[in-house]
Every structure is written in C-alpha cells, then in structure tokens.
Structure 1
C-alpha cells in the first residue's frame, strides 16, 4: 500500500520511530544463540520482572511465542480449548498441529471471552480413546471478537477454574499492553492468571518485529530448545530487542491515544445510516454494513481509492485499527471518507 495512505488495516503496519532507529544502532550486541546478547538478556529480565514471572524468551513473532506457549503445555495428541475466533486456532497456519501435534478445540463465548460455562462442556473425559484436554488459550485483548478487554475478575474466575481442573492457561497477549492501558489490570495481575503469556512488540508498541514468551523457568527452558528447533534462535538479536526495550519505555502509555482515536472514529461512523456495531474498548473498531450498502470488499476498495486503508472482517463486517502512525486528524479524514462513500 502506498506510503501516503492513511493505513487503518492493522497496527502491524507501523514503522520504527527515530528513537527506535537509534535504539537499534546503539544496542549492545552479542550472540543470543549462546545467551550472550546483553540487550536481549536485559529485555527478557525486564519483561519477566514486569509480569512477575521467573523467565522470558525473546521470539521473532507472535505466532512463534504463541506456539512455544502451546508446546509448553500440551503433548502430541492433546487438545487445547480456545475461542472460535482465537488467533492461535485461525491465523497461525495450523501450527499447533503441524509443529506440536496438538489440536485446537473451538468454544463459544461473548466478545471472545469464554466463561466457565463455555469451556466446561468441552473438557474431555479421561479415556484412552479421547484426546487429553491440556490447556485453555485466552486472548487479551481479543482480536477478531472485537478488541475487547478481559475484566480482571472474570479472567481470575476462568483461570482459577482451569487450574482447578488441572489445565494450564496460555494467554495470547498480542495486544497485552492495550489491555493494561484500558484498565484490564496491571501486568502482574493479568499475568498471575496465566502460566505463560505471549506479548507482541510489533503491534501497538510499534516495533518492526519481535515478541516474547513469559513463564516459569522450566517452561522457558523448554521453549528455548523448541525455538531452536523451529529456526528462531538468532545471533545478534539485540538490534531488534533494543526496539522492544525502547517501546516499553516510551510507547506503552501512549496507547491511550490510539484508544481515544478509535473512539472518535466510532462516534463518527456509528452515526451513519446502515452502520452497526459496538463501541471500541481499545484500538480495534469493527462495524457491520446493512445489506443495501456496499459490501466490505467494495467499501475497502473505494476507501483505498481515496487514500484510506481498512480491511474486510467477515460477511458484512469491516475492521479499522488505530496506531501510532495515524494521527487524530487522519482518523477524522478517514471517517469522513467512509461517510462520503456510504452517503452517496
């Protein structure tokens, strides 16, 4: 997509800020494969401490850190339970099955947040002819279910139930800090509900790539070995870890700006005839178009002609995502362009 487009397709499209570029150039480097990259080591220690966990492992992508989390808790032939829109089940290329021999069993749940009543019927009985239910996988914030934030009391309730059943809890925290800034709890409070947590640096935090897995020392030790197996052990990875450390220092609190921009966008768009949906809780805005309006694909194509990027998100549904490379003024321009198309 051209650089001059107001790109609301995803927060993955962000470019490094000048400060991030400096952090890349100034990062102290070593061989991370040998555990000798000081910038990676500092990042891992910093995030583990922030979340109150024993250890952390720097990864190349959110898919990698998620899949290493799954592998920590499930053996070949096991199942993990996950919401029907969950990223691990739908958008990671079948990696749980391909890499770990693990099946994702889909469960319902409003807003992408299954409750005990949603999970409980899907836990397998202990029988040799059945898959073993090993873990539940949660998302915070939810992605395709609406960018919702798990209320901390609900997260604690579901986590407590799962652990009481002997199930592990993995959190896909691709937008973990969006949940924190939106009032979903402190990093430690959220992480305390989970055995492993995956956090992306390449979304709202604005890094060019990178993710991290946090958990017990034993889980991270096993994940480190698995990271090597899947080709994720790098050498001077500090050039990327440096951007993550910069983002943690400078880009967390500013996520509130993205949330405010998403709310402003929704306020304008929701007033249009034939548009429906729920107000955003974070930086993701989903809206549904009435049948008489252009289809999501037609709308997005017309928006692109006007210099605005958005993406279809299912039948009749469109997603817009605010981030640090889109200003409040650009969000207003994007909303006006959408209004002009739908009002024509």
Structure 2
C-alpha cells in the first residue's frame, strides 16, 4: 500500500462526485451560460454572504486575480512571511500586479492587529502605499494554524477604519470552519474578498472560488480572462465543487483526528526533534540539526510513506480524503520500524 501524505491535493473524486460530474448540465461559461458553473458561484456567494463569486482554476489563480484587482503598480501588499501568496505563487504579486510586498513575522503565520497597524506606510510620497492586507487561514507553513474569531474581527475592524481592503487566502478555510465552529458568513463579514479552494480536503479534482462584491467580481472576471482563465463547459468541474460542498465538508474532522494520531506517533520517534502544534490536517515535524529533510523523505518513501521536505530540517505530512484508517494503521507500523 502506498501511503500518500505529501498533500491533500492528491485526493481523487469519489464515485458520487464522478456521477455528479458526468450528469451535470453544461453550457459556455465565457458567455455566462454554463448552468452548473452559475449554480456553484451562486451557492458559494450565498454561503459566505457575498454579492458574487467567480469560479477559477486554482487557489493561486484566484489569489492573484484578487491581488491584481485590489492593488495597482507601485503599491504594496502586507502579509506574513510564511504566506502562500508570497512563497508559492511564482512571484505573481510582482509579475501580475506590479506590486511590492511588506513581509511581517507572525505567530505560525498568523498576524495580529498591532503588527498590521505598525506596518501601514505613512502618507508620504517616499513610502510605498499600503493597499492590501492578506491573511491565510489555515496557514500551510504554520502547520495548519488557525486564526481566532477575536483576532479576525480586530484586523477587519482596523482595515475598514483606514479603508484598506482585507483579502483571505482560504485554501483550507473549511478545515478552520469545522474545527472552530466559525461560519462562512462570519468570514464573509470579516473579509472583502476570499479565495476558497475546492480541490484539497474537499476532494474536487480542480477549482477555486473567489468571492466579493458584484463590482469586484466583474473586474475579477476580466482579469481571469486576461490570464487565460476563460474556460468553456466548465460545469463538469463545477459539479464536483457543488458535490464537495454538499457531502464532504464535515468529514474534514476525520482528517484532523488522523493528523493528531500521526503527531502522537511521530513524537515518540528518535529522529523527531519537535512537532509544530497540530490544529487541523497538517503535521510538520522538525528533525535534529544535521539531519536532512530530503534524505529522510527519501528514506520514508522506500517504505511506501510519501511525505514532503518542508525546509532543510522539516518534513510535512498532510491527511486527506484518500487517507483512511487502514492507511493510518499502515503508516503507524511502517514509520515505527
């Protein structure tokens, strides 16, 4: 048995999801005539209590579209140094929006309102204009860390008080929602725009949704087209997203429970120095000094355990829809050998 823990992007569509995809009514989305895409966008906009939504290829695309609409050349995005939009989106902030980035050092990737307040540039022609604050929740590089409702409310209130938009990279937002009891409507109230991934723990094969105001999404649709994102009979993929939202949200709790078991197993191993706090479905293990994460990952792969190097001395395991109790048992046995 191959034990796949490199990422929750390795999920495959379930039988029910495939059936929903095959039976979806289709049209041309560029003309706004794919009924399944329209249904998905309306469903997510209503869920997060936003005026409109846009179906995109990926979280990277939806994040980069949002940044390109919010920010003009010469302005800056404020985010944590561990942010996906900075580390893992191909330099898109600069390449697509022509914008600068001001990086802050938060707590496992989470910023607080005082840090953001101190980072806002002064109204001075010598300074780069702060035009967007972007948060990530859960934080991938932070081991799946989650923001509290209180922290998000404080940041939201501050950003609105100075008229600076607040964007959320919510690639794993439903992992946060099922763990905390927070609601999509709360996130819709806190943030001006949100990127919501359907293809990680929710199990869709592809797709992300960007939500915001009607005017914002109209502009975002133009940017999506410019980036080559004008797909046609996309309802096949949108149907997978609808199925995921209807059937595969609550089961994310199972991924979190299995991640905690992985952490408890790993903490007993002699080659594990420490483990980041496990809040959701990501387990990040620190190796002792001098031990290479690349070498350790290669060693584990020989035993059929697939994971990812996450820095010179860190290894990441991610639980997901395709990692069940049988796989967890096999993982426990192999990694303990």
Q: TM-score, normalised by structure 1?
A: 0.95
Aligned to 1:178, what secondary structure does the other structure show?
A: helix
CA distance in 1, matches of 2:226, 2:128: 25
Question: What is the aligned counterpart of 2:285 among 266, 287, 298?
Answer: 287
Query: Does the 8 Å contact 2:263/2:275 carry over to 1?
Result: no
| Alignment gaps of 5+ in structure 1 | none
Structure 1 residue 121, shift from structure 2 partner:
2.5
Structure 1 residue 72, shift from structure 2 partner:
2.3
Q: What's 1:121 paired with?
A: 118
Question: What is the aligned counterpart of 1:210 among 207, 211, 215?
Answer: 207
Q: What's 1:278 paired with?
A: 276
CA distance in 2, matches of 1:84, 1:118: 13
Structure 1 residue 55, shift from structure 2 partner:
0.4
Q: What's 1:163 paired with?
A: 160
Whether 1:260 and 2:257 are equivalent positions in the alignment is yes
Q: What's 2:232 paired with?
A: 235
CA distance in 1, matches of 2:188, 2:67: 16
Q: What's 1:38 paired with?
A: 35
CA distance in 2, matches of 1:76, 1:335: 50
Structure 1 residues 337, 257: CA separation in 2 closer, same or farther (over 3 Å shift)?
A: same
CA distance in 2, matches of 1:167, 1:335: 47
Structure 1 residue 21, shift from structure 2 partner:
1.1
Question: What is the aligned counterpart of 1:56 among 53, 58, 64?
Answer: 53
CA distance in 2, matches of 1:198, 1:30: 24
CA distance in 1, matches of 2:321, 2:45: 25
Aligned to 1:80, what secondary structure does the other structure show?
A: strand
Structure 1 residue 184, shift from structure 2 partner:
5.2
Query: Does the 8 Å contact 1:269/1:275 carry over to 2?
Result: no
Structure 1 residues 130, 258: CA separation in 2 closer, same or farther (over 3 Å shift)?
A: same
Aligned to 1:127, what secondary structure does the other structure show?
A: coil
CA distance in 2, matches of 1:77, 1:338: 49
CA offset digits 1:50-74 (Å, max 9, x no partner): 0010000000111110011112211
CA offset digits 1:153-195 (Å, max 9, x no partner): 1111111112212211000000010010011511111221100
Task: Return structure 1 stretches of 4+ with deviation > 6 angstroms.
Answer: none
CA distance in 2, matches of 1:140, 1:120: 20
Q: What's 1:196 paired with?
A: 193
CA distance in 2, matches of 1:184, 1:276: 28
Which moves more between the two structures, 127-136 or 270-279? 270-279
How many residues of Structure 1 are paired with residues of Structure 2 in the alignment? 336
Query: Does the 8 Å contact 1:151/1:184 carry over to 2?
Result: no
Question: What root-mean-square deviation, in Å, do the aligned CA atoms of Structure 1 and Structure 2 show?
Answer: 1.2
Structure 1 residue 279, shift from structure 2 partner:
3.3
| Alignment gaps of 5+ in structure 2 | none
